[in-house]
Amino acid sequence: MKIFKPSLVTSALSLLLATSTSVWAEGTQPAEDYLPAEGSTTQRIEQLEQQISELKKATTANKKTTSSLKPKIKIGGAVRFQYSYEDYNEANKDRGGDFDFDTFRLDVNGSIGDVTLSAQYRWYQYMDVIHHAYVGYQFNENWQGQVGITQVPFGILNYNSNSFFFSSGFYAGLEDDFDTGVSLLGKFDQHDIRLAFFKNDEQGGIDGYVGDRTKRYSYDVVGIRDFDNNEGIWSAPDQAMAESNTFNLRYAYNFSNTEVGVSLLSGDLEGKDGSVGDHNAYAFHVKSKIDNIGIMFQYSNYEYDLDNGSNFVAVGAWAFHDTIPAEAALYNLNLSYNKAVAIGPITNLTFYNDYNLVTDKSGDLKQDTVMNVTGVAISAGGIYAYVDFIMAKNQPFIGGSMASDSDDWNKRFNINIGYYF
């Protein structure tokens, strides 16, 4: 049902009618009494013009308010395919590699009045997951708040890597991680301040209503690893665990195309029957751009301090379990060179080398995790591709685990091609 709103003309006529009625009533008096005094007619006309002008302003303001409440939503997404050749996988080698469907994703971004929103959902061959979903509000020119599944403010943002395989920190939950909570983002000239409180991970924590806690995009702890009871590196843990009540603080200072920052993280670890320990992490990072050259450096350190003294924790993501040391130090140095080109449809090439080291591991592990990725990112309209050559040992997705203790180097050649719309 449409609601009728009086128009500007109707309002003006009403004013004129009220005025005319008043004058008509005065007509019952002697003529010399109702003759207008000098200048009164002109004043009355000016008053009516002023009232009509105010009505126009009110109508315009009402239109602006109504217009600002209309949703402004943009739908986007991507579809990606991947070729991989793995020297540590005999079946893959015999086939000459595999070419598979990788991802279809749907993005929703926009605003309703002063409220912004952003969400992304992904479909893989073996799982479908929420990437992020939050609503935001710009309190003033300096502060924005976000509520929902948001990115954990830690280290270099948005990515501490150039390649498709992220840094080794991603597999320890320290890069591109998303949890459920409240974030405050502050911008003050050269200062970037981010505060966050995450009640639990994106799946609802220890008692989240999910059928499989490994079907998630970003890595989180899902249990305490107990090798003494014959648990394997990739097996489901007997004792479940999840992050809870985690506080984050990230501060960065920007100058001359360079960002220098520190990050802190501290929170509880919950089991089925209550707290089983706590976790902490900190990082120092530098990100700089000199002409076409990009530089990223980050040092990170994390610890899962468990009440039972375990040296390993089980993590879950990408539809499988893995294990990481309860403590470790991480270093990464990434270099890139960006060049605009005109090679057929190709408009940009970014060459890079990402080096990662995970060392000082708990659990008497003798071998470090090392990963080096040399590659190029190719842009051609809506098509974006990563071409990567990876050499690694004890690295997830490259034939190993951070909890393995092998001295063997594995190699993988990978091409990921995506169309973004």
Q: Give the model confidence (pLDDT) of 259-275 as tens digits.
A: 999 999 999 999 999 99
Task: Return the pLDDT at 44.
Answer: 72
Mean pLDDT of 31-59: 64
Tokens 């050499």 belong to residue:
391
Task: Return the pLDDT at 374.
Answer: 98
| pTM across the whole model | 0.83
Task: Return the pLDDT at 54.
Answer: 76
Q: Identify whether residues 30 and 136 lie together within a single domain.
A: no
Task: Return the pLDDT at 284.
Answer: 98
Give the structural domain span for 302: 71-420
Task: Return the pLDDT at 59.
Answer: 63
State the Cα–Cα distance between residues 170 and 322, nearest whole angstrom: 13
Task: Return the pLDDT at 45.
Answer: 77
Mean pLDDT of 177-196: 97
pLDDT band at residue 67 using 50, 70 and 90 as cut-offs: low
State the Cα–Cα distance between residues 45 and 279, nearest whole angstrom: 75
State the Cα–Cα distance between residues 325 and 142, nearest whole angstrom: 39
- Name 338's Cβ contacts closer than 8 Å, sequence gap at least 6: 292, 293, 294, 348, 349, 350
Q: Identify whether residues 263 and 167 lie together within a single domain.
A: yes
**Chain-wide mean pLDDT for the chain?**
90
Mean pLDDT of 394-415: 97
Return the CATH number at 262. 2.40.160.10
Task: Return the pLDDT at 29.
Answer: 43
- In a domain? residue 268: yes
What's the number of domains the chain is made of? 2
Range list of β-strands (E), 128-214: 128-138, 143-151, 178-188, 191-201
- In a domain? residue 3: no
- In a domain? residue 2: no
Q: Identify whether residues 99 and 171 lie together within a single domain.
A: yes
pLDDT band at residue 39 using 50, 70 and 90 as cut-offs: low
Q: Identify whether residues 99 and 46 lie together within a single domain.
A: no
Mean pLDDT of 191-206: 97
Question: Tens digits of per-residue pLDDT, 80-98?
Answer: 999 999 999 999 999 999 9
Task: Return the pLDDT at 50.
Answer: 79
Q: Identify whether residues 77 and 61 lie together within a single domain.
A: no
Sheet holding 220-224, edge to edge: 239-240, 220-224, 312-317, 320-325
Residue 140 has pLDDT above 70, yes or no: yes
Q: Identify whether residues 137 and 275 lie together within a single domain.
A: yes
Min mean pLDDT across 18-27, 197-206, 285-294, 409-418 is at 18-27
Q: Identify whether residues 136 and 174 lie together within a single domain.
A: yes
Mean pLDDT of 38-66: 68
Q: Identify whether residues 194 and 137 lie together within a single domain.
A: yes
Residue 25 has pLDDT above 60, yes or no: no
- Name 334's Cβ contacts closer than 8 Å, sequence gap at least 6: 160, 161, 162, 167, 294, 295, 296, 297, 352, 353, 354, 355
Residue 5 has pLDDT above 50, yes or no: no
Residue 36 has pLDDT above 90, yes or no: no
- In a domain? residue 1: no
DSSP bridge pairs for 83:
99, 415
Task: Return the pLDDT at 35.
Answer: 41
Question: For 243, what's the count of Cα atoms within 13 Å in the CB-facing half-sphere?
Answer: 30
Q: Identify whether residues 56 and 151 lie together within a single domain.
A: no
Share of the chain above pLDDT 70, in %: 87
Task: Return the pLDDT at 364.
Answer: 93
Question: Tens digits of per-residue pLDDT, 286-339?
Answer: 999 999 999 999 999 999 999 999 999 999 999 999 999 999 999 999 999 999
Q: Identify whether residues 119 and 12 lie together within a single domain.
A: no
pLDDT band at residue 62 using 50, 70 and 90 as cut-offs: low
